[in-house]
């Protein structure tokens, strides 16, 4: 058997960090989830995280390679991970305690280990010292029957496990299906932004869980418990919460932290908060990020959906809009404005599919590409043009260059039928403009049709 004992000490930071960075320590459960990537046999025993790796150490290239990999993938940046190994879990844990105290290892293992490094013997140290027993081997040499009657079966069983005479059994850690963690705040939080400092620890645990489950998060909920039940004569709810959603699945805690910061900046707490809870609402399988060897494909900066989500969290979802194409030939109804946070991801997927199926682009003057003739700027409301001698005028007489392009739409909406002939025309004072002639029964009885200006060209 081969056991590895791990320990993280917030006080012992990496010496090359100048100035030292604040450390967001994940809780013990999250650190156990991180260790599951190395072996399925992981358990917390006292202050040490124990890994039984005898069945999988060859996959990592041997004992030394596995120990180096544990140090390289340390989930707590800025903190050195303390490691020790042994043939049994108790020996590995005892060596870890000696390493943490800066003491040298005895020549004989496990008999020479100090007695205070054995958890089962700590409550009997004074009595055992008066008996002349200060090491594991000296206690192990005592008669079994007398040792059990005097100190109980726990000490004798621990010594047997240390020498490998009886099997070691622990309750191994398992990954939950849904991430949910809570912590008590070190001090009452009186404003929502104060919650973010403690939420960083929960986000660190969420990232470990996502990587272990190979999932990306789409929605999460941050909930806090109010310390008061009634304030200024008003009954308060037990909890308050905020929900954060992303357009694309992510494992990037920096982006989620920015979204939480923007949302919390707009929230006013009903009362001081004393507990914090983070829960995943929606996750999907994580496919990883695609990269390229071409430098122009690896652009720095935020992605579009991340920028949109951050602006939506800061200004409100109804204040950040994007155009959405509509199946309508009337220019003023070809698009509508919708929330950017709910359409950016769908639009990105649609662009990828369209790019994969796109044919060669047609000439902008061919009838097969009528959209190429549309102007870049449409008027909010079409402007009726003045007729002089049967010709439309706009800053002078308009000369029709391209057209007509017939549009007949809106017949499915009562009273909104549009039958028009569009032209590209040139104005002496305004340049190229987009006009149309209305074709309807309203002007058939009149002497001249009605002309409207709908767009201009740059």
The answer to whether residue 37 is domain-embedded is yes
Distance (Å, whole) CA 79 – CA 8: 7
Identify whether residues 42 and 158 lie together within a single domain: yes
pTM above 0.85, yes or no: no
The answer to whether residue 431 is domain-embedded is yes
Distance (Å, whole) CA 127 – CA 86: 28
Identify whether residues 70 and 216 lie together within a single domain: no
The answer to whether residue 299 is domain-embedded is no
Identify whether residues 319 and 204 lie together within a single domain: no
- CA-wise closest residue to 108 among 135, 72, 73, 76: 135
Identify whether residues 284 and 192 lie together within a single domain: yes
Identify whether residues 244 and 321 lie together within a single domain: no
Distances (CA, A) of 330 to 367, 407, 441, 451: 17, 7, 19, 16
Q: What is the CATH number of the domain that holds 258?
A: 3.30.1490.100
The answer to whether residue 191 is domain-embedded is yes
Q: Which domain holds residue 409?
A: 375-456
The answer to whether residue 306 is domain-embedded is no
Identify whether residues 197 and 148 lie together within a single domain: no
Identify whether residues 92 and 223 lie together within a single domain: no
92's CB contacts (< 8 A; 6+ apart) are 3, 4, 5, 48, 50, 84, 85, 86
Identify whether residues 36 and 144 lie together within a single domain: yes
Identify whether residues 345 and 396 lie together within a single domain: no
The answer to whether residue 398 is domain-embedded is yes
Identify whether residues 144 and 186 lie together within a single domain: no
- H-state helical runs in 152-219: 153-162, 195-213
The answer to whether residue 20 is domain-embedded is yes
Identify whether residues 339 and 416 lie together within a single domain: no
Identify whether residues 248 and 279 lie together within a single domain: yes
Start-to-end Cα distance in the chain: 77
pLDDT tens, the chain, 458 aa long = 899 999 987 554 444 433 333 344 567 888 899 999 999 999 999 889 999 999 998 999 998 999 999 988 888 877 888 999 999 999 999 999 999 888 898 888 899 999 999 999 999 999 999 999 999 999 999 999 999 999 999 999 999 999 999 998 899 999 899 999 988 888 898 888 888 888 888 998 899 999 888 899 989 999 999 888 777 777 888 888 889 888 788 888 888 888 888 888 888 888 888 999 999 999 988 876 666 666 655 556 566 666 667 666 666 767 777 777 777 777 777 777 777 766 665 554 554 444 444 444 443 333 445 566 778 888 888 888 888 887 888 888 888 888 788 887 776 766 577 788 889 888 888 888 888 888 765 445 555 678 888 888 87
The answer to whether residue 301 is domain-embedded is no
pLDDT given at position 408: 77
Report the number of distinct structural domains present in the chain. 4
């Amino acid at each position: 058997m081969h056991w590895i004992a791990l320990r993280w000490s917030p006080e012992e930071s990496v010496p090359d960090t100048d100035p030292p960075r604040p450390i967001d320590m994940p809780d013990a459960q999250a650190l156990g989830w991180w260790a599951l990537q190395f072996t399925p046999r992981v358990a917390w025993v006292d202050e040490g995280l124990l890994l039984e790796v005898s069945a999988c150490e060859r996959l990592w290239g041997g004992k030394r390679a596995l120990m180096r990999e544990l140090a390289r993938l340390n989930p707590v940046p800025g903190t050195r991970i303390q490691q020790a190994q042994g043939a049994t879990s108790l020996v590995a844990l005892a060596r870890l305690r000696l390493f943490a105290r800066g003491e040298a290892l005895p020549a004989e293992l496990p008999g020479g280990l100090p007695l205070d490094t054995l958890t089962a013997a700590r409550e009997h140290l004074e009595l055992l010292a008066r008996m002349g027993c200060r090491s594991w081997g000296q206690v192990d040499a005592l008669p079994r029957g007398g040792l059990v009657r005097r100190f109980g079966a726990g000490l004798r069983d621990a010594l047997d496990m240390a020498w490998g005479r009886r099997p070691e059994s622990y309750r191994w850690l398992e990954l939950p299906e849904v991430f949910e963690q809570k912590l008590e705040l070190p001090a009452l939080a009186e404003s929502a932004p104060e919650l973010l400092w403690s939420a960083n620890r929960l986000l660190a645990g969420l990232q470990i869980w996502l990587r272990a489950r190979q999932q990306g998060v789409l929605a999460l909920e941050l909930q806090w418990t109010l310390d008061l039940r009634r304030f200024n004569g008003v009954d308060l709810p037990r909890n308050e919460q905020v929900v954060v959603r992303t357009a694309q699945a992510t494992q990037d805690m920096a982006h989620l932290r920015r979204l939480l910061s923007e949302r919390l900046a707009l929230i006013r707490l009903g009362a001081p908060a004393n507990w914090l809870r983070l829960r995943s609402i929606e996750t999907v399988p994580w496919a990883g990020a695609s990269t390229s060897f071409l430098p122009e494909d690896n652009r720095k900066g935020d992605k579009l959906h991340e920028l949109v989500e951050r602006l939506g969290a800061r200004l409100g979802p109804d204040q950040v809009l994007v155009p959405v194409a509509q199946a309508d030939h009337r220019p003023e109804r070809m698009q509508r404005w919708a929330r950017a946070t709910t359409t950016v991801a769908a639009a990105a997927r649609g662009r990828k599919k369209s790019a994969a199926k796109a044919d060669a682009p047609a000439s902008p003057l061919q009838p097969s590409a009528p959209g190429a003739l549309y102007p870049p700027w449409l008027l909010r409301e079409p402007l009726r043009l003045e007729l002089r001698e049967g010709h439309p005028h706009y800053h002078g007489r308009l000369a029709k260059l391209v057209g007509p392009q017939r549009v007949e739409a809106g017949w499915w909406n009562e009273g909104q039928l549009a039958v028009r002939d569009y032209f590209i025309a040139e104005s002496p004072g305004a340049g190229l403009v987009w006009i149309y002639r209305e074709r309807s029964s309203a002007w058939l009885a009149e002497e001249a049709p009605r002309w409207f200006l709908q767009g201009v060209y740059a």
